[in-house]
Structure 1
Amino acid sequence: MIQRIQTVYLLLVTGLLIAAMCMPLGYFTGADAVQYTLMPAGVSANNMFQSTWGILCILILSSIISFLTIFLYKNRMLQIRMTVFCSVLLVGFYLAFLAFMFMLKSDLEATFRISWALSFPLIAIILNYLALRAIGRDEVMVKAADRLR
């Protein structure tokens, strides 16, 4: 299981998504030069907390799916489907992020500056694609071996 390259890719995806949950995704700078940090759980503004629970839920669900996909090595077709589903969830993460960013930007009347941690889900999508190709190669190799028997 650990000797397969897709396992390494999926572990890296899990690590990147967990890191993205813990790091700020961007910063809002208000008109009065007050800086608010946008975390996946929400943003604190003027003694009130505005939740962005959708972003956090997508990151948690994607990291759990990518970790559990590692253990589906006996059922490669399901592993492929789960990897594609995780990538679709990460595209949904960016859509949800844009929705929350524009909503909070108008509520706070502030400008927005992105953080480098926002690239982690994009890197995870690329690693999911590489894992998908490696799983597909394994499936082709197993089918070829079955044909020879």
Structure 2
Amino acid sequence: MIQRIQSVFLLLVTALLTANIFIPVGSFLDSNGALYPFSPLNVNLPSAGLNYTPWGQLSLLVLAALVSFATIFLFKNRKLQIRMGIFNMLIMAGYYIVFLLFMLLTKGRTQASFQISFGLCLPLIAMILNFLAIRAIRKDEDKVRAADRIR
């Protein structure tokens, strides 16, 4: 049953979240006019002495990608598949909360401003695709229940 439309949606969610790990989600612009990219793999802001990996964001992206990929193979248990999809939506919402906290704390430590990049939109697109997958799974569940009532 991997050829179902929800499986395609979930596979796209996995691809978007995996790509978001490597794509910069924004850039810090320090007072000298230098632009420093910020991705979930690395933050490098020499003026503030920051050069590390934001593990909270990285772990949430990896977890969400793994959950969406594992959800594809739960097609025999549609109720669990729906629950995993909802859990994945919560993880992606948590990613945005952690990102916002990290950005505000970093801006508080430095005089750098932050510019948002396209990479920040990828988890939002993944959330929309995940919602569409949940909706398609619910339609399948309704069809199965309707067929069981006819028997």
Q: TM-score range by the shorter chain?
A: over 0.9
**Percentage of identical aligned residues:** 49
Segments of structure 2 that go 5 or more residues without pairing to the other structure are: none
TM-score (norm 1): 0.96
Q: In 2, Cα distance between the equivalents of 1:12 and 1:48?
A: 33
Q: Deviations over 1:39-82 (max 9, x none)?
A: 10231122641331111100000000000000000000000000
2:91 is aligned, of 89, 92, 98, to 89
TM-score (norm 2): 0.94
SS in 2 for 1:124: helix
1:102 is aligned, of 98, 101, 104, to 104
Segments of structure 1 that go 5 or more residues without pairing to the other structure are: none
Q: Deviations over 1:107-145 (max 9, x none)?
A: 231010000011000001101110011000000111111
Alpha-carbon RMSD across the aligned residues, in angstroms, is: 1.1
Q: In 2, Cα distance between the equivalents of 1:70 and 1:98?
A: 30
Q: In 1, Cα distance between the equivalents of 2:87 and 2:50?
A: 35
Alignment of 1:39-78 (within 5 A): 39-46=39-46, 48-78=50-80
